[in-house]
Chain A
Amino acid sequence: MSAGNASREADSGRLADNILMFCRTLRNAGLPIGPGRVLDAMAAVRCAGIDRRDDFYWALRAVLVNDPAQFRLFDQAFHVYFRNPRLLKRMMSLLLPTLEMDSLSAPAEAPIRRLREAMSGTSSGRADEEQGTEIGIDQSGSWSRREVLRHKDFEEMSLEEQSEADELLRAEILAIANVATRRYRFHPYGNRFDLRRSMRLMLKNSGQLIELVRKRRLMNPRPLVLICDISGSMSRYSRVFLYFAHVMTSRQHRVHTFVFGTRLTNITRRLADKDIDRALAAVSADVKDWDGGTRIAECLERFNVDWGRRVLAQSGIVILLSDGLERDSKADLGFQMQRLRRSCRQLIWLNPMLRYSQFEPRAMGIRTMLPHVDLFLPAHNIESLGQLSRLLQQDTDSGRASRPLAAFQATQ
C-alpha cells in the first residue's frame, strides 16, 4: 500500500469492520464463529497483509473454517463480500432487504440457500432488536406453534414451516440403540480383567502391588439401512426422510441409504457430506427417477440381490418408506419382502398413508407387503418420526411381532 499513514489507519479501521461483518454473516449462516475467532481473523489478516487478495482469502479461511464441508459456503461468502464492496455497503446500510443476486458477477454457481438467508436475515434481525418487548410475546406464541407444527402433515407445510420443521426434527432424532460387540474397552466396573493394562500399572507402581484393571464389552449402534420411495406421490415425505437419513448418517457409522422410484440408487456416499444442502443437491443430481412411478418389487429385488448381503451382514435394521402403491401388478412383491425380512433383524415399514384414521390396507401392494414387516408405522409428521426414533433407541429385544397384519388390524 502506497498511501500515507493516516489513510492506512482509516483503511484498517474499515477493514476491521468489514471483517467483523463478514464473520457475523458466516455465523448467521451456521458456522461456529465466536468473538474469539473474529479477533483471530483480524490478527491473521494483520499478519498476512492485504496486499494480495489470495493471501487475504487464505488467511481468513485458515482461521474461520475448520471443516471441509464449510469451504464452499466460505468461498461464496468471501466473493460476495470482498469482490463487490458496493453490495456490502448497501447491506451495511440496511437498504437492501433481500439479496439481488442478479447484480452479482462473482459466483457462477447458485449460492447456497443458507448464505442467502444469512445475508438477507441481517436486516430482519436488526428490526427485531428495535422492537424489544414484542419478542417475548412472539416466543411464548412459538411454543404452541411448534406443538402445532409437530403434528402438522408434511404435505401441508409451507416452505418456511418446512425449514423450521427440519430443525425440530433434528432435535427429535435420537441415537439408535446399542448392541454388544465382541470388543472390550476399559471400564471401572467392567466384568473382565484387562491384563495388559494391569501389568503396565503394576510396573508403574514398581511391582509393589497388583491392581486389577477392568474392562467390559464395547457397545455400538446397529447398522441401519434406509430405503426411501421417491415416486411422485411421496415427494414431500421423501424429502423429510432424506433429511432424517442425513442426520443419522452424520451421527453414527454404518448407515446406508437407498432411494428408489423405478430403479434403486445407493446414495450413502452422497449423504456423507456434512453440509445438508450440498448432500441433497448431490443426491438429486445422481438420481434420475424423482417424482415418477414406482416399481417396488423390482427395486426390492435389486436390493436383495445386489446389496442385501453387503450392507445387512451384522443384523441391521431396515426402514422402508413407501406408500406401498405398486404399479406393476404381476411382480413377486411378497416374495421380495419376505426375502428382505429374512436377511435383516427388523423390518420397519413407514407409510404416510397411515395418517388417515380410517386407513385400511386395501390396495393390493399394501396387502402383500404387510404380512412381512415387523413394524408398520406412520411417517407423516414430526411426531411420528420422533416416535420412530424413540423406538429405535429402545432396542426392541422382544424381536419381531409375530403377525403384524393381525396386530395392526387389532389396533384399529
Chain B
Amino acid sequence: MKNQKGQFFSLDFIIAMAIAVLALGMLLHFYELNTYEQQNARTQNELTLIAMNSSNILLNTNNCTAQTSLKNKGYEMHGCTDTSSWGTLTKADLMIPDEFNCYITKGGSPAINGCVDVLLANTPNIAVIERNFLERNLNILKSAYELCLDGGSCTLYTPAKLMVKIWK
C-alpha cells in the first residue's frame, strides 16, 4: 500500500460526482423543455385571443336588421349576423395587428378581402377557431322571427360556419 501514489479522488467520490452531474443535466433538460412549452403556450394563447376577438367583432357588430314592427317591440337581433358588409373589412377593422397574418372563411370560401394571406407549410403556431352562427342579410319580420322562436318551420336564417386562422 505504500506504493499507491497519485490517487487524488476516491472511487466512491467519482461515482457520486458522476451521478450528481447526470442528475443536474437531466434537471436542466427538463427545465429547458418546460420553458419551451411555456413560451409555446404563450404564443398560442396570444393567437387564439386575437382570433376570438376578430370573430367577436365580425359576429357582434353586424347584427341582423329587424323590421320596424319587430324593432318597436324592443327585440335585439343578437346571435344573427348580417354578412353583406364583410367583404370590404380590413385587418384594422378586425383589430388584427399588422405583423399577424389571417385567413378568414365563411362556409369554406374567403369572406374578408383583408384576410386572404397564404399559410406556409412550416408555420409553427397557428390559431384556428370555428364559430357557428345564423346568417340573414335581409330584414327580419316579426312573424317569421317569432315563428322560429316557437319552434315552427324556421327558414329565416341560414346556418353558417365562420373560420378564423391567425398566425405570425
A binds B: no
Which residues of B are interface residues toward A (Cβ below 8 A)? none
User: A residues near B, CB below 8 A?
Assistant: none
